[in-house]
A and B are shown apart, each in its own frame.
Chain A
């Protein structure tokens, strides 16, 4: 075959394959174009949120709703942007943290403490077109944790105890912690605690925990449901001024997708979760390395939600 013809053959094959592969291989085009019974669920970039997203997703699928998953998107700043532009329709949030993120200057008024108060305040600042569903009793709070040695050395039981010694200590957490009110900013304005240095690591993950145990950082931002707190004997510092607030799992959803079927399925999951059970399932994902999808199924089976 003369090479001109061969060239033409290759070009033709490519021209046919190109659009085919684009259509076929791409199940995740901007989710908003999906049918009205399709819902795109997103999650933040840490295992617990991925697990929660899976739980909600599978509960919805059990009721016949088609679900597109966008897991591990990034920090709140990123997935909220995705929620606002319609790339995702629902995300399992934490009411207190979300309120802080959406409030002016990131500051939460002082007298808002219980879950109900938080939710009331939240309803006023949510992005247009979105609403929150029922909060779950399950809570996962940001904590400041230290090694037992550090706690003993500086007599640390609560965050105010850090004030006199923070200038000698290094704080570690996710990069966004440095700019958040429920982070370095609030620690300074509410508690007057200013650290010597802040090291951006990961979202309460292995990097942060390893840095804490190795001594690269002295204080770490770790989540309260993390099994490592128990296994590695971290000391969680109390938060008397409730800087980190109530942090109930609270799904945020686009109003256009909040049909009664969807809402009741999601609320059922939220109601069935408790802090204790969330911690238990998270342990299976983080310690036993089980796939979040199968752990979610386990939860749904146990609660007869599928």
Chain B
């Protein structure tokens, strides 16, 4: 195994780099799209059920199918990594829209009434009161979305763009364990690093959850 790593450093590193980019960018896109969507379901409660249902259906479409069907819908080259990014953004959005909606709805209560009573306009209330309070739940959803994306990117190897998934197809083609193990270990490490990173950001952003904790 060591010989494999030594002999293939460049390829492993480039696969890892591609994997990082392919899994994190969709999460960001998903967040950017999910925040307004979640907010809208709070303002217009009738939107909640349709959004949740749509998210559920989108999430149940297999990733491989999305990777292949998307080039037919948007004019991206067959091999462009953008296929993966768009598909995973759809998944991230499906997951996060519901999380944001649930989180924002669950913080409605005395605090938001108090803020309204104090004269906070909706936007200031959103950014000053609701979002910070909803952060723990949203961060939890963010962690799930990130880890899930990291796992799904490797499926892209089946269509030739897969970051660390390349190591898995190589292992299958040659009946060779070393690349597969390297790929799994790196993938798990990447997920652990991203997960911890999000937890750290969450702690930094919400110090009140730790003060006076049981």
Question: Which residues from chain A sit less than 8 Å from chain B, CB to CB?
Answer: 3-4, 6-7, 10, 14, 18, 21-22, 25-32, 42, 45-47, 70-74, 78, 81-82, 85-88, 202, 205-207, 210, 285-286, 289-291, 293-294
Contact = CB atoms under 8 A, between A and B. Distances in A.
Given A7-B205, A205-B175, A291-B7, 13 more contacts: A3-B205, A10-B201, A21-B21, A25-B20, A25-B21, A28-B80, A42-B79, A73-B159, A74-B158, A207-B172, A210-B175, A286-B174, A291-B11
B142 to A, nearest CB: 11
Contacts of B79: 28, 30-31, 42, 70, 73, 82, 87-88
Given A22-B21, A82-B78, A291-B11, A4 B132 contact: yes
Given A6-B204, A10-B205, A85 B78 contact: yes
Contacts of A70: 79, 160
Interface in B1-38: 4, 7-8, 11, 14, 17-18, 20-21, 24-25, 28
Interface size classification for chain B: 35 or more
A18 B59 CA distance: 24
Shortest 6 CB-CB distances between A and B: which pairs?
A: A25-B21, A206-B175, A73-B160, A87-B77, A30-B77, A87-B79
Interface in B100-123: none
A87 B17 contact: no
B128 interface: yes
A51 to B, nearest CB: 11
Nearest to A204: B173
A123 B79 CA distance: 26
14 contacts: A18-B25, A21-B25, A25-B21, A28-B80, A42-B79, A74-B158, A82-B78, A85-B77, A86-B77, A206-B175, A289-B174, A289-B176, A290-B7, A291-B8
A206 B158 CA distance: 16
A82 B206 CA distance: 48
A46 B160 CA distance: 12
Nearest to A22: B25
Contact of A45 (B160, B174, B205): B160
A202 B172 contact: yes
B80 A87 contact: yes
Contacts of B28: 14, 18
Interface of B: 4, 7-8, 11, 14, 17-18, 20-21, 24-25, 28, 76-81, 127-128, 131-132, 157-161, 166, 169-170, 172-176, 178, 201, 204-207
Contact of B157 (A72, A82, A289): A72
B160 A29 contact: no
A78 B78 contact: yes
B174 to A, nearest CB: 6
A30 B175 contact: no
Contacts of A285: 174
Contacts of A71: 160
Nearest to B28: A18
Contact of B7 (A10, A205, A294): A294
A202 B127 CA distance: 53
Nearest to A71: B160
Contacts of B127: 4, 7
A3 B77 contact: no
A26 B173 contact: no
A11 to B, nearest CB: 10
Nearest to B10: A293
Contact of B172 (A22, A32, A205): A205
A254 B24 CA distance: 34
A25 B169 CA distance: 22
A7 B18 contact: no
B68 to A, nearest CB: 9
A155 B174 CA distance: 32
A16 B122 CA distance: 27
A45 B18 contact: no
Nearest to B127: A4
Nearest to B29: A18
A14, A45, A72, A286, most chain B CB atoms within 10 A:
A72
B160 A74 contact: yes
A81 B205 contact: no
A128 B158 CA distance: 28
A33 B208 CA distance: 50
